[in-house]
Amino acid sequence: MGSQMTEMLKGTLEGIVLAILAGRPAYGYEITAWLRDRGFSDIAEGTIYALLVRVEQRGFVDVEKVPSAKGPPRKVYSLNAKGREQLAEFWRTWSVLAERIEQLHHNDNQHDEGA
């Protein structure tokens, strides 16, 4: 992914992770693997872990330590009510932003065709 995609993801990654957790509880590596499987190949695992710490501190997720066969217990994150409210706000904001960007894109294309 290019630097523009990386910059755009910085502002949306929290919402993307909350959306993943709305589907089912997961631990950090699972989230990273899910994203990579869907084409977000440049996302570093450390970025996801730092984001998970932030959403935990902000009270958007509940955390359960689950024993692991390979080392220390894993922290499994699940979206709670406050996180669902935050995710709903993310989707509302995303819809408005996407609509406005699409209008700009459409207007730009019309301008190009008229030139």
Higher pLDDT, residue 86 or 4: 86
SS3 68: coil
Radius of gyration of the chain (CA): 17
33-75 tens-digit pLDDT: 999 999 888 888 899 999 999 999 999 999 999 998 988 999 9
Residues 6+ apart with CB under 8 A from 77: 21, 25, 26, 27, 28, 31, 52, 55, 56, 61, 62, 63
Predicted model pTM: 0.85
Domain 4-109 is of which CATH architecture? Orthogonal Bundle (1.10)
Residue 95 reports pLDDT greater than 80: yes
**Looking at residue 17, what is its pLDDT?**
96
Residue 96 reports pLDDT greater than 60: yes
% of the chain residues with pLDDT over 70: 92
